[in-house]
């Protein structure tokens, strides 16, 4: 029997996704999670002003969203002190990464990343036939100098780094990232994922001119602004590079409701201050809980805490499995030696209390196993 055939490249790809969602895990368990602390969502929610704006926009959802996201881009440009031509809005950082890889990576082209770093970039590179060059973390940090050296060695077209980092929560000071950008090959583009920058210490964001031709910065409303389900990300970069998105993007991909919510969220500075304070308090409490059970919480500049379980990857996976069985959704790094850890998102006091109650039982089961 004949049938339509996949392209040769598509036929080689696994039919998997970078992450198994908590909903899929709940369906498999036949039970909802007591505490959803694995996807680095903001359990503190979006700004009430953003909710009101989205409710109002829902009455207008019969209309397509503005394909230029003009009002949101204008507000973002003013927020960052750049021009409208320096901003592109897209379906989260994941969607923007896919467009960038599509624009710059063809079959056999090289891309550099850290082994165990945020995997969606790898997923896109593989999907367009690129060749990934992965380097180990240095301690629990990505290694900017090694990434730069590998770009020179391989002639890579893209280098990806997240600052602050996922899954470890670590970060580099802004000057380290600025130096990284300055030392890359001129024809190599730095994809700087700043998803967690709203929650990071002062000085984490590098001082890089917006018209720098080989750097593009990626930000999101999913973390600090608590709008993960709205899928709103944006890129900041040189006008010529930003214009490239128009060659391949889905011009009607941005939901009208999401645009309205993001615009209102950006204007509510008091709410983001509230989220920073709530996140810091939750990080401290997760660290206290870890220490109470002899575990080490790694320093974090994000809305999650990575906890060193004190063993190897098998032990950490056993702890995670036991937590999931208790109804506590958490995740863990994928690659050794970082897989000695579990990763716990910041949450409400009730959610963190549920984690605290389940952790000692999970540790006991892991040790017994």
In a domain, residue 11? The reply is no
d(CA 314, CA 293): 19
Q: What is the pLDDT of residues 5-55, one digit of tens each?
A: 999 999 999 988 778 899 999 999 999 999 999 999 999 999 999 999 999
Angle ∠(251,252,256) on CA atoms, nearest 5: 130
The predicted structure's pLDDT at residue 1:
65
- Residues 36-59 as b/e (b if ≥16 CB within 10 A, e otherwise) read bbbbbbbbbebbebbbebbeebee
What's the pTM? 0.96
Cα separations in angstroms, 228 against 18, 45, 65, 93, 94 = 16, 9, 18, 11, 11
d(CA 105, CA 244): 13
The CATH number given to whatever domain includes residue 162 is 3.40.640.10
Task: Tell me, yes or no, whether 140 and 105 share the same domain.
Answer: yes
> 267, 291, 315 — which closes off a domain?
267
The predicted structure's pLDDT at residue 16:
80
Residues of the chain with pLDDT under 70: 1
* Three-class DSSP category at 341: strand
The predicted structure's pLDDT at residue 211:
97
d(CA 273, CA 257): 24
Edge-to-edge, what's the strand order for the sheet holding 304-308?
A: 296-297, 304-308, 341-345
d(CA 68, CA 254): 9
The number of distinct structural domains making up the chain is 2
Place of tokens 């196993």: 369
In a domain, residue 6? The reply is no
Task: Tell me, yes or no, whether 223 and 154 share the same domain.
Answer: yes
In a domain, residue 110? The reply is yes
């Amino acid at each position: 029997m004949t049938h339509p055939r996949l392209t040769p490249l598509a036929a080689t790809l696994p039919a998997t996704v970078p992450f198994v969602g908590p909903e899929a895990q709940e369906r498999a368990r036949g039970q909802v999670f007591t505490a959803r602390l694995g996807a680095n969502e903001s359990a503190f929610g979006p700004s009430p002003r953003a909710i009101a704006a989205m409710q109002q926009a829902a009455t207008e959802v019969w209309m397509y969203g503005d394909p230029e996201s003009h009002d949101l881009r204008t507000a973002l440009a003013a927020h960052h002190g750049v021009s409208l031509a320096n901003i592109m809005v897209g379906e989260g950082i994941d969607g923007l990464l896919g467009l960038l890889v599509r624009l710059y990576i063809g079959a056999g082209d090289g891309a550099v990343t850290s082994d165990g770093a945020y995997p969606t970039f790898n997923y896109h590179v593989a999907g367009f036939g690129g060749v990934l060059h992965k380097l180990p973390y240095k301690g629990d940090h990505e290694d900017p100098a090694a990434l730069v050296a590998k770009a020179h060695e391989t002639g890579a077209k893209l280098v990806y780094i997240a600052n602050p980092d996922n899954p470890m929560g670590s970060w580099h000071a802004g000057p380290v990232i600025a130096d990284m950008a300055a030392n890359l090959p001129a024809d190599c583009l730095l994809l700087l994922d700043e998803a967690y920058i709203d929650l990071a210490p002062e000085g984490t964001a590098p001082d890089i001119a917006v018209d720098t031709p080989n750097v593009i910065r990626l930000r999101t409303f999913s973390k600090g602004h608590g709008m993960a389900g709205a899928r709103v990300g944006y890129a900041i970069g040189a006008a010529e590079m930003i214009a490239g998105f128009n060659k391949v993007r889905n011009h009607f991909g941005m939901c009208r409701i999401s645009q309205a919510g993001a615009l209102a969220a950006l204007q509510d500075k008091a709410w983001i201050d509230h989220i920073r304070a709530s996140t810091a308090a939750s990080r401290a409490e997760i660290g206290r809980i870890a220490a109470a059970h002899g575990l080490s919480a790694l320093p974090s500049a994000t809305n999650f805490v990575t906890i060193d379980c004190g063993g190897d990857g098998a032990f950490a996976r056993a702890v995670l499995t036991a937590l999931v069985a208790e109804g506590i959704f958490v995740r863990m790094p994928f690659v050794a030696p970082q897989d000695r850890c579990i990763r716990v998102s910041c949450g409400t006091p009730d959610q963190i209390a549920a984690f605290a109650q389940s952790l000692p039982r999970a540790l006991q089961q892991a040790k017994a196993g």
